[in-house]
Homo-oligomer: A and B are copies of this chain.
């Protein structure tokens, strides 16, 4: 059965029951009502577009649903907050199979279970290609958000999660390897941001925090710019371990992928030297005073291929 054979009400009746929808007031009225216990709400929105951000022959509907949730809860975690609700806007062609939409909803539900999220509202619309726009809401438990602008010289640079695996998985898919190493393909199809590490970093006194979605060098550059510092990354840190892990699958591209591959949704944080790194953060470098380059790798500007993902320039 295709989407155009159902009206919006009938399609909603099929997919809504597949997803967790607890809220003060969930889907079904003009708007939802979500608890914001401390009198503020964290809010972020992120879009996935077919053929730009996913391919239906590389990812199932459930993979796309998972990823749409994962990348948004990662942005909430990157403020030091926990997710309190998701709004899903889904545009899709009329000839899309309803089974794909149901599979998408199941992937959303699986990610909600993994990340402790619920769907509070949404919208369905016809479109030429599949477009998924997710808004995530979050709560900071009364604490200040962790911004990108608080890093200071002498602070430790650390990462929770892993880097390069999603990019390596994408690399395999682009080379036609659809059943390669499950951990790499899985990292691309279903990234698992370490969402609990966000509030933990906040409580540990993190001075800066962000979601690594566009590649470590590009996103580290954003913290450097916002904080007015240099981030000096070391490949003899945890980065070296992730590089070594990738060598069997991607050989000489391992270093580039760890430094510039996007969509792993690790958390990149900076911590005062006396803060102590909360699990699962691992040190990857140190913050230095601002210099000619916002980001250094082993003390030098990165001269390798790639600088990270940009939606329009690539």
Name the CB-closest residue of B to A37.
B39
Tell me, in angstroms, the Cα distance from A124 to B8 when the chains sit together: 26
Q: Is A145 at the interface (CB under 8 A from chain B)?
A: yes
Q: At the interface, yes or no: A6 with Cβ under 8 Å from chain B? A: yes
A233 lies within 8 A of chain B by Cβ: no
Name A214's closest neighbour in chain B (CB-CB): B8
A129: Cβ under 8 A from any B Cβ: yes
* Bound form: Cα–Cα A292–B199 in Å: 54
Taken together as a complex, chains A and B put the C-alpha atoms of A127 and B226 apart, in Å, by: 29
A75 to B313, CA, bound (A): 36
Cα A218 to Cα B311 in complex, Å, equals 39
Q: When the two chains form their complex, are residues B135 and A87 in contact, meaning their CB atoms are under 8 A apart?
A: yes
Shortest Cβ gap from A224 to chain B (Å): 14
Report how far A149 CA is from B277 CA in the complex, Å. Answer: 51
* Nearest B residue (CB) for A213: B30
Residues on B with beta carbons closer than 8 Å to the beta carbon of A76: 30-31
Cross-chain contact B39 with A32 (CB below 8 angstroms):
no
With beta carbons under 8 angstroms apart, the residue of B41, B51, B138, B311 that contacts A124 is B311
- Contact (A6, B145) CB under 8 Å given A39-B37, A45-B122, A79-B31: no
Determine whether the beta carbon of A79 is less than 8 Å from that of B29. Answer: yes
